[in-house]
Amino acid sequence: MTILVTGGAGYIGSHAVQRLLRDGHRVVSLDNFFRGHARAMGLLGAKFPGKLESVVGDVTNRECVLEAIRTFGVTTVMHFAAHAYVGESVEQPLVYYHNNVTGLVSVLWACDQAGAGGKRVTRFVFSSSCSTYGQPPAGMIPVREDCPQAPVSPYGRTKLIGEQILRDYAESKRMAGTEFACTFLRYFNVCGCDRSGVLGEDHTPETHLIPVVLQAAMGQRPHVGLFGTDYPTPDGTCVRDYVHVEDLVDAHVRAMSTANAADVRAYNVGIGKGYSVRQIVDTVRAVTGREIKVVEQPRRAGDPPEVFNDPTKIKRELGWNPQVTDIREMIASAWKWFEANPRGYGA
């Protein structure tokens, strides 16, 4: 099968590319390298010679996407390409709506056009986010997929709009009797690195908690800010759910391979356990053996005290069974890559 992975040079996309290549698929990565890494593509190309096509292109350029789909006979799309910083989306909403919403419309247009004369894209997996839930109402944590979606940032809204566009597109295909199935995966906090040690997490700027704390452990940051220490949680800091990037990718593979024509499905992807910010810092200390300075700061607006997933639906329907459920193991896999690549892919 030939699979188009948009954003294939990014953190999660590159891990997906590696898993799909390992499974024997032909993979076309389409990335504009705005925040992706040519080096990740180079490493994967060398590891799986002749199996990976790395197209440098922008998903908002629909002709470019169409050409990639037609040239390589793509039948499945995993759409990761997006801008993904909540704060940046508040400052630059139009950039986010253009990249994330126009980008998705462009990819779907290309799928549609390609189907008119060649191989048809029949499976689509969309990177959605737990941020589509915003602040879940009291009594709805752990969060199930039927929790009301009320995002509180432009970023979260681009993901919710993306789900709505896909629902409408899938319905039009169903009415026309044309095969198309889509799955939205609403990720919780993705972490960890490829356990074979090739791929890692290298965002600039880095905003995700675990890499930020690891950077502090390596002396690349003077301290870690604890935003809010008086929440109604066991140690006063915010509690979040984490998922190892390879387990997340496994959810994509299951979504792709279990979909039936006309399916429109949504699943939360998080292990179903919450860890506090202090627990993450303490676990990084234990894993790295290094001291980390923390600076207590006021709460940030819009941070819910505690959010974690109810993984019942994805386990039941996709048979998803995360291999890494211990936060220490998640952090150890990230540390292994960070220690070997202190400058990330720039090393």
Q: Which is nearer to ligand NAD, 127 or 283 (CB)?
A: 127
Taking alpha carbons only, the member of 210, 211, 165 closest to residue 184 is: 165
CA distance readout (Å), 145 to 52, 182, 191: 34, 16, 21
Contact window for ligand NAD (CB under 6 A) among 3-11, 20-28, 222-230, 232-240: 3-11
Site string for ligand NAD, 102-121 (x = CB under 6 A): -x------------------
| 193 forms part of the interface with ligand NAD (CB under 6 A) | no
CA distance readout (Å), 344 to 46, 57, 215, 220, 337: 19, 23, 11, 12, 8
Task: Tell me how far apart the alpha carbons of residues 314 and 302 are, in angstroms, rounded to a whole number.
Answer: 27
Q: At what angle do helices 277-288 and 327-340 cross, to 10 degrees?
A: 50
Site string for ligand NAD, 120-159 (x = CB under 6 A): -------x-x------------------------------
Taking alpha carbons only, the member of 131, 187, 124, 190 closest to residue 158 is: 131
| 272 forms part of the interface with ligand NAD (CB under 6 A) | no
| 31 forms part of the interface with ligand NAD (CB under 6 A) | yes
From 54, 75, 89, 99, residue interacting with ligand NAD (rule: CB under 6 A): 99
Sign of the torsion angle spanned by Cα atoms 317, 26, 201, 329: positive
Chain Cα centroid distance, residue 329: 19
Size of the site for ligand NAD (CB under 6 A): 28
Task: Tell me how far apart the alpha carbons of residues 283 and 271 are, in angstroms, rounded to a whole number.
Answer: 17
The residue number whose beta carbon is nearest to ligand NAD equals: 10
From 5, 10, 181, 252, residue interacting with ligand NAD (rule: CB under 6 A): 10
Q: Which is nearer to ligand NAD, 204 or 260 (CB)?
A: 204
Taking alpha carbons only, the member of 6, 46, 32 closest to residue 199 is: 46
Let me know: does 282 contact 288? Beta carbons within 8 Å: no
b vs e for 173-185, b when ≥16 Cβ sit within 10 Å of the residue's Cβ? Answer: bbeeeeebbbbbb
Strand partners, 136: none
| 84 forms part of the interface with ligand NAD (CB under 6 A) | yes
Active site annotation includes 155: yes
Under DSSP, the state recorded for 186 is E
Q: Which is nearer to ligand NAD, 189 or 276 (CB)?
A: 189
For 266, the enclosing helix (H) or strand (E) is strand 264-269
Which of 11, 96, 133, 155 is flagged as catalytic? 155
From 22, 34, 38, 312, residue interacting with ligand NAD (rule: CB under 6 A): 34
| 190 forms part of the interface with ligand NAD (CB under 6 A) | yes
Q: Which is nearer to ligand NAD, 149 or 189 (CB)?
A: 189
Site string for ligand NAD, 36-75 (x = CB under 6 A): x---------------------xxx---------------
Q: Which is nearer to ligand NAD, 103 or 311 (CB)?
A: 103
User: Three-class SS of residue 162?
Assistant: helix
Task: Tell me how far apart the alpha carbons of residues 72 and 80 are, in angstroms, rounded to a whole number.
Answer: 19
Taking alpha carbons only, the member of 132, 143, 82, 134 closest to residue 107 is: 82
From 19, 25, 35, 252, residue interacting with ligand NAD (rule: CB under 6 A): 35
Residue 16 CB, nearest approach to ligand NAD (Å): 9
| 7 forms part of the interface with ligand NAD (CB under 6 A) | yes
Q: Which is nearer to ligand NAD, 33 or 48 (CB)?
A: 33
| 309 forms part of the interface with ligand NAD (CB under 6 A) | no
Binding positions for ligand NAD, rule: CB under 6 A = 7, 9-13, 31-36, 58-60, 80-84, 99, 103, 127, 129, 187, 189-190, 203
Catalytic residues: 155
